[in-house]
Amino acid sequence: MDEELALLPRLLTAHLGLTLFPLLAGTMLSVPLGVLSSRSRRVEHLVLNVGAVIQTVPSLALLALMVPVLGAIGATSIGYLPAFVALTLYSVLPVLRNTVTALSGIDRTLIEAARGVGMSPRERLIHVELPLAMPMIVAGIRTAAVWTVGAATLATPVGADSLGNYIFSGLQTRNATAVLVGCAGCAALALSLDGLGRMLLAGVTSRSRGITFTAAAAFATLYLYAGASLAVRAGAGQRDTITIGAKTFTEQYVLSEVLARRIERASGLDCEVKQSLGSSVVFDALRDGTIDAYVDYSGTLWTTVMKRTDAPVDRAGIVRQMSAFLRQHDGITVVASLGFENSYALAMRRARAEQLGVQSISDLSPVAGELSIGGDYEFFARPEWKRISEAYSLQFRAQTAMDSSLMYQAIEHGAVDVLSAFSTDGRIVALDLVVLDDDRQVIPPYDAVILVSQALARRHPHAVDALRGLSGRIDASRMRNMNRQVDIDGRSPRSVADEFLDGLAPGRGRSDRLR
């Protein structure tokens, strides 16, 4: 709990910045658009339809889409900017719709009166239409504020810190406290902003200077505070901090801490960990230098970055080819193989496997028609699954994609018979699962490798040397054990990483060549 609370001021501030500025930009965009729409039917239809389409894009996808979109126009595609753009778009619709509805709902007699007393269209807008529409516009802004607080949690995978850090990592590492802290933080923030909005509106409509001033001052303070902390963080980015990335699962959290602490211990440089990045986001972030290093897996890079569909032959060969490819195409250096593989594996509960007499994937094919399989969102869409199911001609009765943090519960309770697990997952041992033998060798090797950016290699060769020292230091059982300490024993990735580094005797490299 203390560890979670220690992060709260920083993440809450970051979340505030992710809410307030998109909200301001969204309002400044949608009120003029709403005014334009109220002047022309054609514009109204166009604008409202575009707004509605944006709203139907799931917020997670909208945020993730910003990364390639911004990348394509050459802007910073990771971190605050994509989140800011997506959340701004997301906050447009409620404000826009309320503005249009409020303006078109104004009594015709009053428009007539405004023209009759000699107002120009602009004066009519300022003195009559906007003041009369204001309560409804503010209601739209309050709706948008609550939505944005919620949607900002999804900024974590595109590399912007938010209260979503708690939720993403908490769900992955089964840390309910972290999830609760994240949710409570969001709820408190949403309620406070909404309350302040209501107070401001009440002050303005009742013409109470005191209330209006208090609420406006509170907003101004929040904006100044959030703006200042954004500026400070931007300044910190200029300073020499090394950023380590992590994808959204436990092993990545542990390894990112291992990398960060290793560099800190060896060089005294400041390291920061950016957790819970989307798996394509993290690679793009490394390429454009937003992060400096992270751990990826050879088989993943082979299929998703190198776009190879042929099965690679051996572990060493794939790492060699991949290193050359990444250096040449992306300026990325592969500094070390950690010494273990985390490959896709099909797993079953021991009792069920023994009952069916299944030991290898080949044994599965005659009985697959009776069984159901579960996997994470990615798995069934990946080329590896296509290759496995074709090579072993697997036709399951049912196939269910679910969140990777839930699929172990699903097999534990018998909701699925077979699981697409990760071979180093601590829960394989904890739940007494058996990994089925890939007897035809169709699953490619997934060596864990440390990738570093061009910038880091140039700026801090010393730090790169420190990472190279991790080569071959983590074998599969050690990795599984560390994962288990987080997932099952509830320890923090950081403390597990520290313990590992403490126990690392200098100079005793050992390569674990096979599982």
Partner 1 sequence: MIEARELTKSFGSIRAVEGVSFDVSAGELLALVGGSGSGKTTVLRMVNRLVEPDHGSVRIAGEYAQRRDEHVLRRTIGYVLQGAGLFPHMTVEENIGITPKLLRWNEELIARRVCELMRLLELDTALATRLPSQLSGGQQQRVGVARALAARPSILLLDEPFGALDPLTRDRLQQSFKQLRTELRMTAVLVTHDMMEAFLLADRIGVLEAGRLVQISTPREILMHPASDYVERLMDTPRRQAKVFDELMGGVSGG
Binding residues for partner 1, rule: CB under 8 A, are: 109-110, 112-120, 123, 127-128, 131-132
The Cα 121–Cα 104 span in angstroms is 15
DSSP 470-491: TTT---HHHHHHHHHHHHTT--
Residue 99 beta carbon to partner 1: minimum distance, rounded to whole angstroms: 17
How far is C-alpha 157 from the chain's CA centre? 1
Residue 96 beta carbon to partner 1: minimum distance, rounded to whole angstroms: 22
Q: Name the residue nearer to partner 1 (CB basis): 208 or 495.
A: 208
The Cα 41–Cα 336 span in angstroms is 62
Q: Name the residue nearer to partner 1 (CB basis): 8 or 119.
A: 119
CB 306 within 8 A of CB 278: no
* Structure tokens given for 366: 């005659």
CB 60 within 8 A of CB 278: no
* Structure tokens given for 393: 């001609």
* Structure tokens given for 370: 């009776």
Q: Name the residue nearer to partner 1 (CB basis): 124 or 459.
A: 124
Residue 134 beta carbon to partner 1: minimum distance, rounded to whole angstroms: 9
What are the residue ranges of helices labelled H in 40-58? 41-56
Residue 122 beta carbon to partner 1: minimum distance, rounded to whole angstroms: 10
Residue 104 beta carbon to partner 1: minimum distance, rounded to whole angstroms: 17
* Structure tokens given for 315: 């572990």
Residue 107 beta carbon to partner 1: minimum distance, rounded to whole angstroms: 8
Residue 65 beta carbon to partner 1: minimum distance, rounded to whole angstroms: 42
Q: Name the residue nearer to partner 1 (CB basis): 113 or 232.
A: 113
Residue 66 beta carbon to partner 1: minimum distance, rounded to whole angstroms: 40
In the chain, the largest separation of any two C-alpha atoms, in whole Å, equals 91
Residue with tokens 């049912």: 398
Residue 44 beta carbon to partner 1: minimum distance, rounded to whole angstroms: 22
Q: Name the residue nearer to partner 1 (CB basis): 10 or 115.
A: 115
The Cα 119–Cα 309 span in angstroms is 70
Residues forming a β-bridge with 434: 348
* Structure tokens given for 138: 């503010």
CB 463 within 8 A of CB 267: yes
Q: Name the residue nearer to partner 1 (CB basis): 170 or 203.
A: 203
Positive or negative torsion for Cα 491, 285, 269, 332: positive
Residue 273 beta carbon to partner 1: minimum distance, rounded to whole angstroms: 53
CB 470 within 8 A of CB 432: no
The Cα 168–Cα 486 span in angstroms is 14
Residue with tokens 């291992």: 258
Q: Name the residue nearer to partner 1 (CB basis): 57 or 204.
A: 204
> 274: helix, coil or strand?
strand
Q: Name the residue nearer to partner 1 (CB basis): 186 or 201.
A: 201
Main-chain phi, psi angles of 378, to 5 degrees: -75, -40
Q: Name the residue nearer to partner 1 (CB basis): 208 or 395.
A: 208
- The total number of residues written for the chain in this structure: 515
Residue 214 beta carbon to partner 1: minimum distance, rounded to whole angstroms: 22
Positive or negative torsion for Cα 164, 171, 283, 292: positive
Main-chain phi, psi angles of 301, to 5 degrees: -65, -35
